[in-house]
Amino acid sequence: MTDLTPMYLRDYQESVYQIPKVDLTIELDDERTLVRSSMTVERNTNRVEQDVLVLDGHDMELVTIHIDGVLLSTDQYQVSQESLIINHCPGNFVLTIETMINPKANTALEGIYKSGGAFCSQCEAEGFRRITYFLDRPDVMSIYTTTIIADKDKYPFLLSNGNCIERKDLEHGKHLVSWHDPFHKPCYLFALVAGDFDLLEDAFTTKSGRNVDLQLFVDKGNLFKAHYAMQALKDSMAWDEQVFDLEYDLDIYMIVAVDFFNMGAMENKGLNVFNSKYVLADERSATDDDFFNIQAVIGHEYFHNWTGNRVTCRDWFQLSLKEGLTVFRDQQFSADMHQKDVTRINNVRVLRAHQFAEDAGPMAHPIRPEKVVEMNNFYTLTVYEKGSEVIRMLHTLLGETGFQRGIKEYIARHDGQAVTCDDFINAMADANDRDLSQFSLWYSQVGTPQVHANATYDLQSKSLSLRLSQTPGAGQQHPPLLIPIGFELLNPKTGETMRQGVLSLSDAAQTFEFEELALQPVIALLTGFSAPVKLDFPQSNDDLLRIMTSANDGFSRWEASQSLFRQCIANYYKDTGYRLPDSLQQAFANILDADIEPAFKALQITLPGFAEMTEFLQDVEPQRLLAALEQFEQDLLNSQTAKLTSIYQQCTERLFGDSEQASGLRALKNACLHYLAGDEDFDGEVVSQFRQARNMTEQIAALNAAAQYNLPSFENINNAFAEQWQEDTLVMDKWFAIQAKVQDGNIFERLQSLLSHPKFSMENPNRVRSLVGSFANSNPKYFHDPSGKGYEWLATQIAILDKINPQVASRLITGLIQGQGFCQEVQSRLRKQLAGLQKLENISADIGEKISAALA
Ligand code: 0A1
Ligand code: ZN
């Protein structure tokens, strides 16, 4: 039976022992890597009675243990599956442990493993215990000196954290390199890489004059794809100095791109390890979205140097301390580097389509979880994205100056420490002389709160009374939260902004009065999406149209169009005979005609998707919702074919270069293409776009459209694409993702045969996410096939994958556990698959935790 015993935040206790210093010597070998760890161990002086040291360890062979140079006999310690227990330890001592590990057999990709020909490591959250026995918890911080020994021909680069202090050749063709990291760090920030790479080098001078060498390591032959990431790194370093007044602190910053990686990237001190997807890009092979994401992830990992590394988490329940804050920082960076409104809208789309569902699902948890079985399951949209929204609310409440004052205080107080979310809030509160105790409830509440709004205007007194009330997410209970509600009052005739600002909603219900308003304003509420809530504020089409065309706030302009669309889709869903009303045709035409930024227009004409609509409706029948979405799209196309075609053509004519402007035009062109390809007559245009594409954004959009509508040209261009890009694994990932989305009744045969495609591998997380993940997340029609085949196929893959890489298996299970928005029939089909998985022998704690939550 899988052990599903949870850990609770309330049970936190300080470590009895600390390890201020660690010297590691790692002799790399594919199957027998020898790790010698020599640790200075110190007992907390208040805990003299506690002479038993319990170290964490997993899946390795213990070779020897010495205390102060004396070999321990087997009766002085016990080894179990998850720990090494040493009895009768002195107060201060040097503990030396030798372990043997097998990187080649490590398909879970935690600890030290092989990615292609290279060795690399991943220690967050609890991977260090797969390298050696240790106090694997973030509040144990040490100074590391790491010596790596390996074959020099095969592994000319041997890298670890900090500065290089020694290099020398050894006998038998081996060499040795030593690194010293002068900063205390928890073991989750330890990193090791060994391999043969191409190296891109650059430098950055910090504002106080420190010269930092920048090194980017990529697989041989990929140097031409590394330049954009290097620029993104320099931009991140400059931005953090300008906006947060934070400078880099070592003489070297290294990034290594690897093909086998469970997540996006990892902020190991001075040596980031990246999924190659977030490093490698050139215009031919990467889309505009890829470029955006690379810059965001490079920024994210760099920003962790202060928010995560210099100040780290006391325990893993505090993960949002570093992640929420760092996501907020990377979102602000992206907003400054691109169009602010567009960036913000995209943040909100992710949150609403996916985090809201998580917050209403069986694994719902506060941004600071209180109960965890498998920590890897808590790297969630809630901890990251909602966590960032919570920081954003603080920013809104304190203003930029107050926020920065708080950050300065936080860092001044806690540099070099492992702290809690409460420490963060206290620093923000003290620096601004504010009581943030009510605000801190955001760290413990679960679910998406609702804000209800109701406005009355009194002509006599020329005053507006706005009543706001709040209720917790479905099935939740908690005291009222402090919710900043952005607003804008618009003149209904001219569209001018009469007032704007932020209201602080702190009671269950509150009324806000606005005086001296010459006429009844149109109200845009929750401007900038000022809080992660659902807003219940019924507004007339006229009001929405006014907001859509006139609000200062870009988010509100976009949201007004989305509200119109959502309402209309809901009507199609309820009544299969429903047809597009004139008012909507007109609204859509107005958007198409508007003189607005192309990237913004692209977002405005992009309809709310399946996931977002599932949040908006109840007891959803998937096929019915899909039919509604399809019909709505078709009707919009029929009503505006001419306009869509002409914008499509104009964009094509104006497209050149890789500027921000060109990427906006491409986004708009492809948003139009998405509609136009719904008409088979457009097949020829799709093929020309595919053939004439000068970049991946255009090429992949054409292929995607052909797959989406299963156009006559699809098989042809699909094969051409695979042929053209067969040697580029990252592009082949895009191809796999499209295969999983083809709208064709043969999809299951197609999926099955792709599992044995020569370029597919269950061991590579990017491949798995591209094929299996894309089917579950982006092909709702066949995933929710009424036969239940889609769920069954996913469950089968999860069972296989769980044995190889539980972390990746666990991320794929979302589609099976988050069925609560659907009708009973769907829910019971999903449960059937989950029950089947639960019965399998030895499932991982990763999927075990989620399945039992879903079946509870
Ligand atoms: N701290 C990283 C995310 C990360 C977490 C876990 C990993 O492996 C289990 C890898 C990366 C970040 O926020 O970027
Ligand atoms: Zn992070």
d(CA 137, CA 141): 9
Q: Which residue has the tokens 């900090």?
A: 162
Residue nearest to atom 2 of ligand 1 (CA): 266
Which of 263, 271, 297, 322 has most ligand 1 atoms within 8 Å of its beta carbon, as the pocket-test mutant?
263
Q: Is the CB of 229 under 6 A from ligand 1?
A: no
| CA of 300, closest atom in ligand 1 | 14
> Among the atoms of ligand 1, which is closest to the Cα of residue 376?
9
What are the pLDDT digits (tens) for 78-112? 999 999 999 999 999 999 999 999 999 999 999 99
Q: Is the CB of 122 under 6 A from ligand 1?
A: yes
For residue 410, count other CB atoms closer than 10 A to its CB. Answer: 24
- Cα 339 to middle of ligand 2, angstroms: 23
User: Bridge-partner residues for 41, per DSSP?
Assistant: 93
**Closest residue by Cα to residue 750 from 730, 726, 722, 786:** 722
List beta partners, residue 200. 216
Which residue has its alpha carbon closest to ligand 1 atom 10?
263
C-alpha 655 – ligand 2 centre gap (Å): 35
Residue with the nearest Cα to atom 5 of ligand 1? 124
From the list 442, 794, 822, the residue with the least C-alpha distance to 619 is 822
Measure 12 CA to ligand 2 centroid, in angstroms: 23
Q: Which ligand has its closest atom nearest to the C-alpha of 307? A: 2
Tokens of 523: 């109200």
The closest ligand to the CA of 808 turns out to be: 1
Query: How many Cα atoms are found within 13 Å in the side-chain-facing hemisphere of 242?
Result: 9
> How many angstroms separate the alpha carbon of residue 61 from the centre of ligand 2?
31
Probe residue for ligand 1, chosen from 124, 136, 187, 320 as the CB with the greatest number of ligand atoms within 8 Å? 124
Mean pLDDT of all residues in the chain?
98
121 lines ligand 1 (CB under 6 A): no
In one-letter notation, the amino acid at residue 408 is K
| Ligand 1 center from residue 419 Cα (angstroms) | 19
288 lines ligand 1 (CB under 6 A): no
Distance from Cα 307 to the centre of ligand 2, integer Å: 9
pLDDT value at 623 more than 80: yes
Q: What percent of the chain has pLDDT over 90?
A: 98
CB-proximal residues (5 Å) to ion ligand 2: 323, 326
**8 Å CB contact between 176 and 147:** yes
Which residues, 6 or more positions from 202, have their beta carbon under 8 angstroms from its beta carbon? 214, 216, 230, 234
Q: Which atom of ligand 1 is nearest to the CA of 122?
A: 8
DSSP 72: P
Q: Give one DSSP letter per residue of 147-200, joined into a string.
A: EEEEETTT--EEEESSEEEEEEE-STTEEEEEEEEEEEEEGGG--EEEE--EEE
Q: Is the CB of 330 under 6 A from ligand 1?
A: no
User: What is the DSSP annotation of 236-262?
Assistant: HHHHHHHHH-----SSEEEEEEES--S
Q: pLDDT band at residue 658, thresholds of 50, 70 and 90?
A: low
Tens digit of each residue's pLDDT (9 = 90 or more) over 361-380: 999 999 999 999 999 999 99
Tokens of 32: 């027998």
Q: Are strands 483-490 and 198-205 parallel, antiparallel or unpaired?
A: unpaired
Q: What is the pLDDT of residues 106-147, one digit of tens each?
A: 999 999 999 999 999 999 999 999 999 999 999 999 999 999
Question: For residues 68 and 74, what is the distance between their CA atoms, to the nearest angstrom?
Answer: 16
d(CA 458, CA 464): 6
* CA–CA separation, 96 and 736 (whole Å): 47
Q: DSSP secondary structure string, 286-354? A: --HHHHHHHHHHHHHHHHTTTBTTTBEESSGGGHHHHHHHHHHHHHHHHHHHS-HHHHHHHHHHHIIII
**Distance from residue 267's CA to the centre of ligand 2 (Å):** 7
Pocket of ligand 1 contains residue 303 by CB under 6 Å: no
Residue with CA nearest ligand 1 atom 4: 266
Residues 709-756 pLDDT 10s: 999 999 999 999 999 999 999 999 999 999 999 999 999 999 999 999
Mean pLDDT over 180-209 rounds to 98
Q: What is the pLDDT of residues 431-479, one digit of tens each?
A: 999 999 999 999 999 999 999 999 999 999 999 999 999 999 999 999 9
The Cβ of residue 346 has, within 10 Å, a number of other Cβ atoms equal to 17
Token pair of 30 as six digits: 């594919």
Instruction: In whole angstroms, give the CA distance from residue 396 to residue 553.
Output: 15
Whose Cα sits closest to atom 9 in ligand 1?
124
Q: What integer pLDDT is reported at residue 827 of this predicted model?
A: 98
Q: How far apart are CA 218 and CA 220, in angstroms?
A: 6
What mean pLDDT comes out for the span 642-671?
A: 92
Q: Which are the contacts of 329, defined by CB distance < 8 A and separation ≥ 6? A: 240, 244, 299, 300, 303, 307
Distance from Cα 686 to the centre of ligand 2, integer Å? 39
Predicted structure pTM score: 0.99
What's the pLDDT tens digit per position in 839-849? Answer: 999 999 999 99
Q: From the alpha carbon of 384, which atom of ligand 1 is closest?
A: 13
50: which residues sit within 8 A by CB, 6+ positions away? 16, 43, 44
Does residue 495 line the site of ligand 1, with CB under 6 A? no
Angstrom CA distances, 146 to 40, 46, 167, 428, stand at 14, 31, 12, 37
Nearest CA to ligand 1 atom 7: 124
CA of residue 119 to ligand 2 center, whole Å: 22
Strand order in the sheet with 174-186: 70-71, 61-67, 92-101, 33-43, 17-27, 141-151, 174-186, 163-169
**Residue type at 188?**
Y
Active site positions, annotated: 301
pLDDT in the model for residue 709 = 97
Nearest CA to ligand 1 atom 13: 323
Residue 654: what pLDDT?
85
Nearest to 100 by CA among 146, 133, 149: 133
Q: Under 8 Å CB-to-CB from 412, ≥6 apart: which residues?
A: none
Residue closest by Cα to atom 3 of ligand 1: 266
SS3 1: coil
The predicted pLDDT at position 1 comes to 79
Q: How far apart are CA 786 and CA 830, in angstroms?
A: 11
Query: Using CA positions, which residue lies closest to atom 11 of ligand 1?
Result: 266
Distance CA 773, CA 815 (A): 9
Amino acid letter at 48?
A: V
> Cα–Cα distances in Å, from 743 out to 627, 654, 683, 740?
13, 32, 15, 9
What is the 264 CA–ligand 1 centroid distance (Å)? 7
Q: Is 265 in the pocket of ligand 1 (CB under 6 A)?
A: yes
Q: What is the pLDDT of residue 792?
A: 98
| Residue 344 pLDDT level (bands cut at 50, 70, 90) | very high
Of the candidates 467, 442, 606, which has an alpha carbon nearest to the alpha carbon of residue 532? Answer: 442
Q: Is the CB–ligand 1 distance for residue 267 below 6 Å?
A: yes
**pLDDT at residue 589, rounded to an integer:** 98
Residues 6 or more apart whose CB falls under 8 angstroms from that of 146 comprise: 23, 24, 25, 26, 160, 161, 178, 179, 180, 181, 190, 192
Q: Which two tokens stand for residue 493?
A: 């005739």
Q: Is the CB of 385 under 6 A from ligand 1?
A: no
The residue whose CA is least distant from atom 8 of ligand 1 is 124
Which ligand lies nearest the alpha carbon of 325?
Answer: 2
Distance 741 CA to ligand 1 centre (A): 28
Q: What is the mean pLDDT of residues 481-492?
A: 98
Residue 48 has pLDDT above 90, yes or no: no
Residue 469 contacts by C-beta under 8 Å, 6 or more apart in sequence?
451, 452, 508, 509, 510
275 lines ligand 1 (CB under 6 A): no
Question: How far away, in angstroms, is 550 Cα from ligand 1 center?
Answer: 41
Residue 297, ligand 1, Cβ within 6 A: no
Report whether residue 849 contacts ligand 1, using a CB cutoff of 6 Å: no
Q: What's the 494 CA to ligand 2 centre distance in angstroms?
A: 45
Rg of the chain over all Cα atoms, to the nearest angstrom = 28
| Nearest-10 Cα torsion for 127, 128, 129, 131 | 110
Measured from the alpha carbon of residue 324, the closest ligand is: 2
Determine the average pLDDT of the residues in 530-545: 98
pLDDT of 657 over the 80 cut: no
263 Cβ below 6 A of ligand 1: yes
**Three-state SS annotation for 746-814:** CHHHHHHHHCCCCCCCCCCHHHHHHHHHHHHHHCHHHHCCCCCHHHHHHHHHHHHHHHHCHHHHHHHCH
List, for residues 3-16, the tens digit of each pLDDT value.
999 999 999 999 99
Give the start-end residues of each E strand in 371-433: 371-372, 418-419
Cβ of 379 less than 6 Å from ligand 1:
yes
Residue 304 CA: which ligand is closest? 2
Residue 655 has what pLDDT? 82
Which DSSP letter does residue 356 get?
A: H
Judged by its nearest atom, the ligand closest to the C-alpha of residue 268 is 1
The closest-lying atom of ligand 1 relative to the alpha carbon of residue 322 is 13
Residue 391 half-sphere exposure toward CB, CA atoms < 13 A: 29
Cis peptide before 125 (omega within 30 of 0): yes
- Displacement of CA 355 from its chain's centroid (Å): 11
The answer to whether the CB of 323 is under 6 A from ligand 1 is yes
Query: How many residues belong to the chain?
Result: 856
Enter the DSSP assignment of 438: T
Q: Quote the CA–CA distance of 511 and 277 in Å, as a whole number.
A: 49
Q: Are 693 and 709 in contact (CB under 8 A)?
A: no
The ligand placed nearest to the CA atom of residue 388 is 2
Give, using CA atoms, the residue closest to atom 12 of ligand 1.
Answer: 266
| DSSP helix/strand/coil, 12 | coil
User: pLDDT exceeding 70 applies to what percent of the chain?
Assistant: 100
At 45, the pLDDT band (50, 70, 90 cuts) reads: confident
* Cβ neighbours of 385 (radius 10 Å): 25
Per-residue pLDDT tens over the stretch 375-396: 999 999 999 999 999 999 999 9
47 compared with 259, residue with greater pLDDT: 259
Per-residue pLDDT of 146-163, as tens digits, reads 999 999 999 999 999 999
383 lines ligand 1 (CB under 6 A): no
